[in-house]
Amino acid sequence: MKRYLIFRLIELIPIFFLISLIIYFVLNAMPGDPLLTSRLENPRALVKDPAKIAELRKYYHLDDPLIVRYGFWLASFIKGDLGFSSMYKQPVLKIILKRLPNTLTLTVTAWLIGLIVAFPIGIYSAVKKYSFFDYFFTVLAFVGISLPTFWFALMAIIVFSVILGWFPISGVQTYGITGSWNIFVDKLKHLTLPALVLGLVQVAYWVRYIRTSLLEVLDQDYIRTAYSKGAQERRVILKHALRNAMIPIITIIALDIPYFFGGALIVETVFSWPGMGRLMYEAVLASDYNLAVNCLMFIAVITLLSNLLADILYAVVDPRIRLGAKAV
Amino acid sequence: MFLMKKTVEQLQDSAIIPIGTYWQLVRRRFLKHRLALLGLIFLVIVTAFSLLGPLFIKTTYDEFDLSSIFAPPFSKNHLFGTDELGRDVLVRVMYGGRISLFVGFVSSLITTAIGLLVGLISGYFGGIVDRLLMRFVDVMLSIPLFPILLILTMVFGSGLTNTIMVLSVFGWMGVSRLVRGVVLSIRENEYIMAARVLGTSKLKVLFKHILPNAMPITIVSMTLNLSYAILSESSLSYLGLGIQPPTPSWGNMLQRSMNYILSTGHSNTVPWWLVFFPGFMIFITVLSVNFLGDGLRDALDPKFVSEA
């Protein structure tokens, strides 16, 4: 297990380098001189003195080849020096760390909602294969996959916030509320709608995965054996079948974590939820390249870590990998 | 057309399903798939609605009428209502459909073509080429898609051509993987060996014998790419980073709708139709494409489920 983990960790390093390289090169495909753009944006920073310009160019390594600049950039990223945001006039790391908890609250809640809804439906659809229930949720899964997230979110706001008035329209909390219990309830109210939207969009995919992998297991000989030994259906499904079906399911669910960040980007924007996704969107709108790229790098790192998590969980639930200790 | 013969032989062996050519069988299987048929019909209707609809209505998408702003649906002359400038939502949905469908079809064609090419090369030539290409695909796939699309629009700018380009750059990897898988399994067949022994050139083997076998999965992937492209374009345009107003697209029509909904929310009726109709068009189109893709998957090759 330990060897397997170390192997996986080492494997992440070159992938991280390649991802950052692609991101950096894409960004540098942009026409224009970064020094010039920043001066155009902020006339007060206009530097006319050629000597000063040369000094700045040297300071930012602007005359070095692309790959050298990439090296400097990556080195400072790893050291945690993410530079300055032109929009907020603050260090990028500080802004990102301030927004990250909001995104985590939203995505984790949405993820849990997704799991709680998807598992019973997926299991029941597999057990009652080709029943009305199964067909109904098959079609509903297609509906879920085809729903544009922003439209779903907007319609949810119109129906539940504007017309019915059950939930607040946007934001994280109402200001001026006192008492820790009241604040908690208020925050929960703000969280409900965005988390539901984000979670339910993912349910459609998961129900299909859970159904398919459980169906595959239910065909196996040992399930028939369990039945013929007289085990109760409930026990066979939950103990014998689901445990084995969990292996692919867990991988998919861990691998889907990054999709939540993509989805969160839209949901956060629609609900004015001050998370990382919205931050990145604001940065893109304001052409704050440094902030936007660092947000992307953060999301990419989270993606890699969730891939690692998927591998670890896979090893935990599947003894063949853990005990074999050989990386596949 | 070896796939054709193989399938027919298999079916003759089982002797349950009536015999026909490959495409006859495909058509028969497809027509049996009710949801897929429905999807195809809807897709044709939506396309016809967008392409031909404006011919029957006199107003255009940017013709505004300040005397009738926020007219609700089913009101006189405005079946889908009007927006904040009194522009007819129905007409705008039709024109928006032209743009959204165009972006969807073109970028899915491009991504599928790139993916097919990469997959064929990777699978057929193997070795170091294959390893390099697939590693590259792995890395590209592990970059979160929607965030990188945002960055790309920031770098390349928005607008019609740039949106298509942005959607194409990061959209081809899935197809290339699937095609590579098929090529790998076909490559080792005896008839490929036979063709080689007969002295057929590599390129001819690739395009004559291997490509036809990779077509079914390519067609299915294209439907997936199409639905993904339509969804991405609308999301980008909604965020103001895709198609730019005044050109309507299904996504950018929703852009400022929320402001009006919030501002008129308390006094008048909520102008829900500004949000509902364009979004519903996206939804119904993507749903149709997904049903169509599912039906094609079953119809083109029943073995797909296990192979893919």
Query: pLDDT tens-digit profile of A292-317?
Result: 888 888 888 888 888 888 778 777 77
Q: Is the pLDDT of residue B112 over 90?
A: yes
Q: How many whole angstroms separate alpha carbon B276 and alpha carbon A292?
A: 31
More confident residue, B13 or A236: A236
How many Å lie between the alpha carbon of B188 and the closest alpha carbon of chain A? Answer: 23
Q: Return d(Cα B289, Cα B295) in angstroms, integer.
A: 10
Over residues B74-103, mean pLDDT: 80
> Which residues of chain B have a CB within 8 Å of the CB of A149?
235
Q: Looking at the partner chain, which of B143, B145, B290 has a beta carbon nearest the beta carbon of A22? A: B143
For chain B, what percent of residues have pLDDT higher than 90? Answer: 17
Q: How far apart are CA A31 and CA A24, in angstroms?
A: 14
Contact (CB<8Å) B151/A292: yes
Contacts of B147 in chain A (CB under 8 A): 261-262, 265, 277, 280, 295-296, 299
Name the more confident of B180 and A52: B180
Confidence (pLDDT) at A325: 46
Of A148, A284, A300, the CB nearest to B235: A148
- Predicted pLDDT at B305: 40
Q: How many CA atoms lie within 13 Å of B70's alpha carbon, on the beta-carbon side?
A: 13
From chain A, pick out residues whose CB is under 8 angstroms from the CB of B155. 26-27, 29-30
pLDDT tens-digit map of B254-279: 887 777 777 765 456 777 788 888 88
Cross-chain CB nearest to A158 (options B270, B280, B282): B270
Angle at CA of residue A217, ends A212 and A222, nearest 5°: 170
How far, in Å, CA of A235 to CA of B90, rounded?
55
HEC sequence for A226-245: HHHCCCCHHHHHHHHHHHHH
Highest mean pLDDT among A264-278, B15-29, B281-295: B281-295
Q: Hey, is B82 helix, strand or coil?
A: strand
Best to test chain A binding among B136, B146, B269 (most A CBs inside 10 Å): B146
Q: Do B150 and A155 touch (CB under 8 A)?
A: no
Question: Tell me, what's the pLDDT at A35?
Answer: 56
On chain B, the residues whose CB falls within 8 A of the CB of A299 are 144, 147
Query: Residues for chain B: how many in total?
Result: 308
Question: Cβ B235–A19 below 8 Å, yes or no?
Answer: no
What average pLDDT does the segment B79-98 reach?
Answer: 79
- The minimal CB distance from B144 to the residues A27, A157, A299 is found for A299
Contact B150 A26 (CB under 8 A): no
Position B307 pLDDT exceeds 60:
no
- Residues in A 53-72 with any Cβ partner in B closer than 8 A: none
On chain A, the residues whose CB falls within 8 A of the CB of B282 are 148, 151
Number of helices (H), then strands (E), in chain B: 14, 0
Minimal Cα–Cα distance from B18 to chain A, Å? 25
Mean pLDDT lowest among A166-180, B66-80, B101-115:
B66-80
Residues of A in contact with B142 (CB under 8 A): 15, 19, 300, 303-304, 307
Distance CA A314, CA A324 (A): 13
What whole-number distance in Å separates Cα of residue B75 and Cα of residue A161? 26
Q: Does A13 touch chain B (CB under 8 A)?
A: no
Q: Is A232:A273 a contact under the CB 8 Å cutoff?
A: no
Inter-chain residue contact B142 with A293, CB threshold 8 Å: no
Predicted confidence (pLDDT) at residue B284 exceeds the cutoff of 80: yes
Neighboring chain A residues of B240 at a CB cutoff of 8 Å: 285
Which has the closest alpha carbon to B125: B184, B185, B39?
Answer: B184
pLDDT score at B299? 81
Which chain B residues are Cβ-neighbours of A18 within 8 angstroms?
135, 139
Cross-strand pairs, A90: A85
Would you call B150 and A265 a contact, using CB atoms and an 8 Å cutoff? yes
Q: What 8-state DSSP symbol labels residue B282?
A: H
* Residue A47 DSSP SS3: coil
Structure tokens at A200: 């339910």
Rounded-to-integer distance, Cα B97 and Cα B186, Å: 40
The separation between CA A61 and the C-alpha centre of its own chain, rounded to angstroms, equals 33
For the stretch A128-136, contacts whose Cβ atoms lie closer than 8 Å and that sit 24 or more positions apart, written own/partner, are: A129/A215, A134/A211
Q: What's the pLDDT at B110?
A: 95
Residue found by looking up tokens 């939820």 in the block: A273
Task: Identify all chain A residues contacting B144, using CB atoms and an 8 Å cutoff.
Answer: 258-259, 261-262, 296, 299-300, 303
Q: Which residues contact A280 (CB under 8 A, 6 or more apart)?
A: A265, A291, A292, A295, A296, A299, B147, B150
- Report the predicted TM-score, pTM, of the whole model to 2 decimal places: 0.83
What is the distance in angstroms between the Cα of A280 and the nearest Cα belonging to chain B?
8
Chain A: give the shortest CA distance to residue B55, in Å.
28
Long-range pairs for B91-94: beta carbons < 8 A, 24 or more residues apart: B91/B53, B91/B54, B91/B57, B91/B59, B91/B60, B91/B61, B91/B63, B92/B61, B92/B248, B92/B253, B92/B278, B93/B248, B93/B250, B93/B253, B93/B277, B93/B278, B93/B281, B94/B49, B94/B50, B94/B53, B94/B54, B94/B57, B94/B61
- Which residues of chain A fall below pLDDT 50? 325-328
